[in-house]
Every structure is written in structure tokens, then in C-alpha cells.
């Protein structure tokens, strides 16, 4: 009994220590942000002062987007840019009625004189990366802008972004910041918006302006076509083609630029299963990219600080694996320590867990303070934000192991329903996601932590309640929303209905 307790407690505190390191890294990114946020690109001309107007191709990859494709085309055709130097490609891989809607809206805007073309593939080879690659083969632009179906750039987007390619330093890619069309729709979208703000306000700025690698986010950015080609073009062997190409390009010596002042709003997922599918894709793709490129990164002549930050960036999702192990160990370790009268080391839990959670909270507080005048009111959502991150642990751990063991899966795009205000409904619409066995595990863990909470209350183990409640709420919130909002998957497992992707 005592040997088992020692082993379990050793694993438990070891994992807590590693998670605390991830927490310290958040502090480090925040430090880099405040140290370098004032380092702005030099000698960027106004659009009117450019020596020439470059030809821009705007690529719009879509797949079964019946609710938003018309809105997308309308917004892109409103871009204020010389038509003789602009080309818009609607890259449609759709297999449903989106095809007819897309053809009709393209026809309408072509008749109005807009330089837009419709390109449809009979298969989804390479998924989004394949569509972008096929479009690039016939594109005329020297600059390539990409927007996903739910992104709505302002008319002056190109005029604000293109001049950066004429700055003193030559850039291969310029990325704008994501905004949120529907962040006030629900508690979940509020929490999501804070998660994304941390990434786009703190992480991107810190990495880019301190000279570390950062990545194109798949949309709301512009590439120099020569950069794409020099890096080897779009590859299909990961689920995050944007991250993969970004790192390959920077390994080739191309410089990237992040412009947080230019904001492109997009639709946040409104259903938990759609959100989990998105997070699964991002987590799996980042580990696939790490497997593919980490050896090349560490063999390169890059500085140790760049290599180390790239490693934290690409391997960050391993924290979810540790979180899952911790989830199973925490209640059991609580019970064993109480039974063996080791209550004194319960005091270790709180400071270590606080180190991890407070670092996350402060990270997101800084992001909210930087961009919202009413940032204090948004802090009410921080506890849910932390709980949501914990609740995603099972979902994202599955993604990590699928990547590690080359488990094939399709590129599951995030469903968009044209949701902008609270009164908009989506439950009756097509593309509703299903839930599987992962959801049942999440609910089980919620119940598991409920027992631990009851045990802690009954025995006065107050120091452990802080962490136990976060885990209980996180797993229940993610699990029950998945059950109530989703359709049951008959096989309780993901089905493959399209060409698959794997990493060799």
C-alpha cells in the first residue's frame, strides 16, 4: 500500500512540476510581449506612395459552407483595391448544395464586374492544403491572401497590409489578428474569445517581435508567392498545413510579420462538439508538424532561444496528456495521503496548482487589458476559461496520441452557421456535429471529481478543493454540452468519409 502510494505521489508531483514549467513559460511570453511590443517595422510606405501596385490573388477555400458563402463573397468583393490588380478565387470542395449557391453568387458578382472565379474539385485530395495548392497553380498574383469562409475583412484590408511587403525588411508573410463576430453569443463563445485573444495578442506579438518563429493561422494573412514556392509549397501530410508551411518557410530564412492593429472578425464555434473538432485538428496537426520538423529545427543554425521557443510552441499540446494523467491521479492521491496521514503535503498542491493557473489567468488578463476598454468586466469569464481548458484535456490528448501513432483522420472543418447575435439559432441547421466515446469519458471524469469534492468536504481537506472544483466543472461543462448539443455517433467513434492524412 505504502509503495503504491509513494509511486503514485511521485508521478503526481512530477506532473505538477512539469505543468508548472508550462505555466512559467506563459510568464516568459508575457515578459517578451511587454519588452518587445514597441518594436514596429520600419519605413513602411502608405499605399498611395507605393512604387507600384502588386497583383493580389485572394483565395477563399470552402467546403460545405451553405450558410456563409454568400456573405463571404459579398465581403471580399467589397475590398477596396484596384480591380486590374486583383483576382478572387472561390476554391470550392463542397459536396452539397453549397456548390449551387456558390456558383450563383460568383456569377452575380462577375456580372457586376468583380474579378472573381469559381474553381471546384471533384475530390478533396489534400483537403484545404490541396485546394490552396490547386488554386495557386492558376493564380496570377504575386501576393496571395487567404480567408476562411467565416472571415470578414474590412474593405481597406489589402491597402493596409500590402505596404508591409515594401518595407525595408522583406517579409514572406504578413498576418492580421483574428477578431470575433459573435463573442457575446454564449458563455462558451466568451471563453473561446479569451483563449484566442491570448494567442493573438500575447503569443504572436511576443514571438514575432522578439525574433522567434510564429505562424500563419490559415486565414487573414497574405503570402509572398515566392515564399510559398521557396518553402516547397503546401503539403498535405499534417492537419495544420498553415503551421507546417510557416515553419518550413522560416527555416529557409524568410521573415514573417504580425500586424495586430489590423483585425479580421470571424465566427466562433457555437456548439461544443464543433469547437472540440476544431481543437482536435489543431492539437493533432501541431504534433504532426513537430514530428516532421523538430529534427530539422534542432539541426539548423538557429539560435538556442529560437529553437527552444519553437519547441515549446510545437509541443505545447503535450500539456493536455499530462493533464489527463493528473486528472486520474489527483483524487486517488488525495485519498491515499489522507489515509496514510500525510495531510501536510496537501499544502504543496495549492501553491503548485496556483502557479499553473495564476500564470494562465494573468496571461489572459494581459490580453484583455491590451485590447478592450472594458477589460475588467471580461475577467468574470476567466474561471470558465480555465475550466474549459481543463475540460478539453481528453479530446486533445486523443489528438496527440493519434499524431504520435500516425492514426489517419480526415480534415474536419469547423461548421459555420452565420451566427452573429444572441437571437440567432443554429440547432436546426445542417452540419451539426456528433459526439462519441470521448464525451462519455469527460462525463465520467466529472463524476469522479464530484466524489473527490465530496470526500474533501467530508474530511475538511480545504486546500485541495480549489483544484478539484476546477476539474469537476471543466469536465462536466465540456461533457454535458457535448451530450446536449450533439447528435449521437452510432459507432461512438469518428468515421472516415474522405481521403485520409497521415504522417510517415
Interval 111-132: pLDDT, tens? 999 999 999 998 889 999 999 9
Confidence of residue 501 (pLDDT cuts 50, 70, 90): very low
- Residue 381's contacts (CB-CB under 8 Å, 6 or more residues apart) are 187, 190, 191, 194
- The pLDDT tens digits of the residues spanning 73-109 come to 999 999 999 999 999 999 999 999 999 999 999 999 9
**Residue 119 burial by Cβ neighbours in a 10 Å radius (0-12, 13-18, 19+):** middle
User: Taking the alpha carbons of 254, 257, 263, 267 in that order, is the dihedral positive or negative?
Assistant: positive
E strand residue ranges, 285-409: none
Residue 423's pLDDT band, with cuts at 50, 70 and 90, is confident
Q: Quote the pLDDT of residue 126.
A: 94
Mean pLDDT computed over 409-436: 84
pLDDT confidence of residue 346: 54
Please determine, for residue 339, whether its predicted confidence score (pLDDT) is greater than 80. Answer: no
Instruction: Summarize pLDDT for 239-252 with one digit per residue, the tens.
Output: 999 999 999 999 99
Per-residue pLDDT, 342: 60
pLDDT at 312 > cutoff 70: yes
Beta bridge partners of 223: 144, 173
Question: Under DSSP, is residue 441 helix (H, G, I), strand (E, B) or coil?
Answer: helix
According to DSSP, the residues that pair with 179 across neighbouring strands are 265
Query: Using CA atoms, how far apart are residues 267 and 265, in angstroms rounded to an integer?
Result: 7
Looking at every residue in the chain, the average pLDDT score rounds to: 91
Domain residue spans of the chain: 2-32+319-488, 56-315
- Region 430-450: what's the mean pLDDT? 92
Catalytic residues: 93, 242
Per-residue pLDDT at 337 exceeds 90? no
Q: Which fold does the domain 56-315 belong to in CATH?
A: Spore Coat Polysaccharide Biosynthesis Protein SpsA; Chain A (3.90.550)
* Whole-angstrom distance, CA of residue 170 vs CA of residue 167: 6
pTM: 0.92
Amino acid at each position: 500500500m505504502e509503495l503504491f502510494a509513494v509511486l503514485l505521489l511521485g508521478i503526481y508531483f512530477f506532473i505538477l512540476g512539469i505543468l508548472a514549467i508550462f505555466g512559467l513559460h506563459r510568464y516568459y511570453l508575457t515578459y517578451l510581449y511587454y519588452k518587445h511590443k514597441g518594436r514596429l517595422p520600419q519605413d513602411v510606405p502608405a499605399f498611395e506612395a507605393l512604387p507600384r501596385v502588386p497583383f493580389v490573388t485572394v483565395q477563399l477555400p470552402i467546403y460545405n459552407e451553405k450558410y456563409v458563402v454568400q456573405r463571404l463573397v459579398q465581403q471580399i468583393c467589397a475590398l477596396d483595391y484596384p480591380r486590374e490588380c486583383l483576382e478572387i478565387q472561390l476554391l470550392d470542395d463542397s459536396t452539397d448544395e453549397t456548390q449551387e449557391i456558390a456558383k450563383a453568387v460568383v456569377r452575380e458578382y462577375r456580372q457586376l464586374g468583380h474579378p472573381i472565379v469559381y474553381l471546384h474539385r471533384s475530390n478533396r485530395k489534400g483537403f484545404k492544403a490541396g485546394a490552396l495548392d490547386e488554386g495557386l497553380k492558376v493564380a496570377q498574383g504575386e501576393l496571395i491572401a487567404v480567408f476562411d469562409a467565416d472571415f470578414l475583412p474590412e474593405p481597406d484590408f489589402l491597402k493596409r497590409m500590402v505596404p508591409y511587403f515594401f518595407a525595408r525588411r522583406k517579409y514572406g508573410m504578413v498576418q492580421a489578428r483574428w477578431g470575433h463576430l459573435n463573442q457575446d453569443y454564449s458563455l462558451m463563445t466568451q471563453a473561446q474569445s479569451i483563449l484566442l485573444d491570448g494567442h493573438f495578442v500575447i503569443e504572436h506579438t511576443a514571438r514575432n517581435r522578439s525574433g522567434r518563429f510564429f505562424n500563419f493561422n490559415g486565414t487573414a494573412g497574405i503570402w509572398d508567392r515566392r515564399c510559398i514556392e521557396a518553402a516547397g509549397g503546401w503539403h498535405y501530410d499534417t492537419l495544420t498545413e498553415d503551421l507546417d508551411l510557416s515553419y518550413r518557410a522560416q527555416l529557409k530564412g524568410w521573415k514573417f510579420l504580425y500586424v495586430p492593429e489590423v483585425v479580421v472578425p470571424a465566427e466562433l464555434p457555437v456548439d461544443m462538439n464543433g469547437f472540440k473538432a476544431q481543437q482536435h485538428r489543431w492539437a493533432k496537426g501541431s504534433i504532426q508538424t513537430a514530428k516532421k520538423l523538430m529534427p530539422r529545427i534542432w539541426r539548423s543554425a538557429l539560435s538556442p532561444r529560437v529553437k527552444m521557443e519553437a519547441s515549446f510552441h510545437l509541443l505545447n499540446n503535450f500539456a493536455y496528456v499530462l493533464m489527463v494523467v493528473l486528472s486520474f491521479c489527483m483524487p486517488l492521491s488525495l485519498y491515499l495521503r489522507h489515509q496514510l496521514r500525510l495531510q501536510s503535503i496537501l499544502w504543496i498542491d495549492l501553491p503548485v496548482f496556483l502557479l499553473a493557473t495564476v500564470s494562465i489567468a494573468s496571461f489572459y488578463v494581459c490580453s484583455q487589458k491590451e485590447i478592450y476598454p472594458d477589460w475588467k468586466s471580461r475577467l468574470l469569464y476567466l474561471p470558465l476559461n480555465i475550466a474549459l481548458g481543463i475540460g478539453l484535456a481528453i479530446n486533445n490528448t486523443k489528438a496527440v496520441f493519434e499524431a504520435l501513432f500516425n492514426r489517419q483522420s480526415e480534415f474536419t472543418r469547423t461548421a459555420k452557421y452565420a451566427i452573429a447575435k444572441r437571437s440567432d439559432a443554429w440547432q436546426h441547421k445542417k452540419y451539426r456535429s456528433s459526439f462519441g466515446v470521448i464525451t462519455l469519458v469527460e462525463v465520467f471524469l466529472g463524476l469522479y471529481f464530484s466524489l473527490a469534492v465530496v470526500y474533501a468536504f467530508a474530511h475538511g481537506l480545504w486546500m485541495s478543493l480549489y483544484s478539484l472544483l476546477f476539474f469537476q466543472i471543466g469536465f462536466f461543462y465540456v461533457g454535458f454540452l457535448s451530450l446536449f448539443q450533439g447528435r449521437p455517433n452510432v459507432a461512438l467513434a469518428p468515421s472516415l468519409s474522405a481521403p485520409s492524412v497521415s504522417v510517415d
